Structure 1
């Protein structure tokens, strides 16, 4: 086919010269990703972060295309050329199963985007499946096995999912660009120059170690400064509480939800199909939330308008040993008329920036390997003091969310404002003794 190009702010041009890739991009399941935000509620904090899963998947594909092209040219003795199309296709489709407001929706309705991805790949009714079958009868299953980490070629699996893969490399650069931050920037060109396939997976030449080191630090900074931002998490909490309220109301208000949000009914009733799942996107959900503003339930209406109009909850951090004392704040919130079930929340965000392979760990990590001049492999943190300082250490915080109204000093809140703030010091919950404010 004649090469097609997509102009991209991160990679300049995304090149497509394989008919299967182009057909997949034009499938209805992949086009749906245009309507799913890459960053979910983070766009309510960083207003430029409106980019989609569609653009991210194209970017992951482009990195995979560049890597496989290089592997074919420079390492034919280690890289099987027949694996290149599989790698590029999986990179393109790795997020195709993400749903509307994916992670929040997943927790509430017990869905899993990786399982949904595999369902899209292997279901005979999807356009994606029909296109993949054109390559070979078993090709849809091969792509699904890479997603599941069960494909026997570890080179392919690690390029798609590891501690340094095409997914992470694209989303760090892309999210950094669109949020207007510099935390996620790293030298992709250098990393692509030093990456190479090995007998056990992928590794990086020692001459490019500092570019890999910079990538790990950039990932850590993006999580701390962007992905874990308190305001983004506040919107996630609002979304969670809003959908929880809708789930509770559904049994008694079926007619209202059937009229205002019909495509959610299969999820309320725990009987959804793949077709039901694919019918939802961020825009559909937002239109439902807007219709709930005019609904009969006061709590649902209020939470919906808070979410649509970005009326964020405020938060304070708390220590794990104090979590069982948070009822102090919940009771004060209840005293002014807010139901703590829907107007407060505990939110934990922690990340492990990097770790070595630990055979006994529940979630095993594929460590980053560096190729030394004598061709031996050594794990990254053994060479990098910076990465060693991050390795195996968990970073993040726990926050208690509550209505911003609690901080007002007038009206109904005035009588409880001082008491509420007496348990907070420097935006941290301190229940031991009341603090002077």
Structure 2
């Protein structure tokens, strides 16, 4: 009798050489088949950090490599749980290793629904990467579904429910999605490596040493509290120094406005886009299918942007050139007391000759490094639990003064973005004619922030 697909292990494990984890070990045939599927291979063509590579030039890594990394951390956790905390020894809090395959598949596929320039694209075309991840897993037309269904008829739905956080085993769910999960641990280490920064580094080995299964999900031994603290601080620093970098956000604003303007222009000039940007048309007209979505990647959009840069619409052409040639908008911070100046600045920008709607933006970027447990909210974050000597659990912020100082409040800033030409650094004659207006504009800006009183 042939072995069940779910039990099929490779004669010799497959390994992927990885700069973060050294080796990524593939032991199951189903995992190798999923990696080889066309939907997963598409992730090679989508950058993990979108426009961040315009600031940190090494950040060219893909969602493919990140997804492999999340799988590898999850595999290591399963091994630790099986060896040290099997359910046979601890029926209440132990790990049932029959959950391994659903955990590994969910870890590998958790980002498969991401599209080109993920979050910017989502905001404009009303896509949702988590919903599309589920759709890819559960659509009979996808290779991913066909592979998963060979394990069990309902296995695609099981894996999808982990992503939706409805899977009954919370150990599996929290392994993939919580405030300290395989996803976050990999992207912090991987993004730090490829951006050439040290902010995101933390002691993964120590965290895996103290991680424990619990009947309610995942917990950590009290002796590892400082390693968990280090992880929280690293996440905070990566957001402040890398993910929220003002130049990366300036490029994201240009990308956002380029796609928005393209969508608006399509309503007036559909023939042009149907000639030059055929794979984007279903999104411009709002009638896309899953098949349409899976044809897109970063390279497809960049190719279209190259064509748009030569079009005779001056705004579409200019925005495309700014994006392709890394000409980010400049920015200044503002707060509640200086927000009233924004309409004045927009008026000056319009007077100089820019379309203020297209060439300005307000960008707010905030993140919670760690949040308390808030069960009263519809969407709350799972708290990090520490196991005390007597076996009881304590929430991390109650045990750590350091985490308590960061918890429960957003960190970040609000920025007003505008063309660099407004600083008087452009040599375009049409701009220099407005020297008095540029001086007036700059009188409101000092040390990277808006001020109420002019110089």
Which TM class, normalised by the smaller chain length? over 0.9
Q: Deviations over 1:363-401 (max 9, x none)?
A: 201000001111111111111111010010110000000
Q: Which residue of 2 aligns with 1:334?
A: 350
Q: Quick one: distance in 1 between partners of 2:408 and 2:38?
A: 41
What is the rounded CA distance, in whole Å, between the counterparts of 1:222 and 1:294 in structure 2?
Answer: 37
Query: Within 5 A, what are the aligned runs for 1:198-277?
Result: 198-277=214-293
Whether 1:54 aligns to 2:64 is yes
Contact 1:44 1:310 in 2 (8 A): yes
Structure 1 equivalent of residue 3 of structure 2: none
Residue 429 of structure 1: how far off its partner (Å):
1.2
Aligned counterpart, 2:83: 73
Query: Quick check: 1:374 aligned with 2:395?
Result: no
Partner of 1:34: 44
CA–CA distance in 2 between the matches of 1:320 and 1:189? 44
TM-score, with length taken from structure 2: 0.94
Structure 1 distance, partners of 2:137, 2:340, is 44
1:120 maps to which of 125, 130, 136? 136
Q: Summarize the alignment of residues 72-111 of structure 1 with structure 2, pairs less than 5 Å apart.
A: 72-77=82-87, 78-111=94-127
Which of 290, 311, 314 in structure 2 is aligned with 1:298?
314
Q: Report the CA distance between 1:321 and its aligned residue.
A: 4.5
1:384 and 2:400 matched: yes
| 363-372 or 353-362, which deviates more | 353-362
SS at match of 1:89: helix
CA deviation vs aligned residue, 1:24-62 (integer Å, no higher than 9, x gap): 000000000000000000011000000000000000000
| Unpaired runs of at least 5, structure 1 | none
Pairwise CA RMSD: 1.0
Asked if 1:412 is matched to 2:428, the reply is: no
Contact kept? 1:405, 1:413, Cα under 8 Å: no
Rounded to whole Å, the distance in 2 between the matches of 1:275 and 1:52 is 21
Give yes or no for contact 1:406–1:413 (8 Å, CA) kept in 2: no
TM-superposed CA distance for 1:76, in Å, is: 0.8
Match of 1:142 in 2: 158
Question: 3-state DSSP class of the match of 1:220?
Answer: helix
Structure 1 counterpart of 2:148: 132
SS in 2 for 1:251: helix
CA deviation profile, 1:386-426 (whole Å, cap 9, x unmatched):
10100101100000000001111662342222100111122
Alignment partners' CA distance in 2, 1:314 and 1:122: 43
| Distance across 2 between alignment mates of 1:55 and 1:131 | 20
Q: How big is each residue's C-alpha offset from its partner over 1:269-321, in whole Å with a ceiling of 9 and x where there is no partner?
A: 11100000000000000000000011121000000000000011100001134
Q: Does 1:7 align with 2:17?
A: yes
User: Partner of 2:280: helix, strand, or coil?
Assistant: helix
**Count, aligned residues:** 434
CA deviations on 1:169-196 (whole Å, 9 max, x unpaired) are 0000000000000000000000001101
Q: Is the 8 A contact 1:247 1:268 kept in 2?
A: yes
Q: For residue 326 of structure 1, give the secondary structure of its aligned residue in structure 2.
A: helix
Match of 2:4 in 1: none
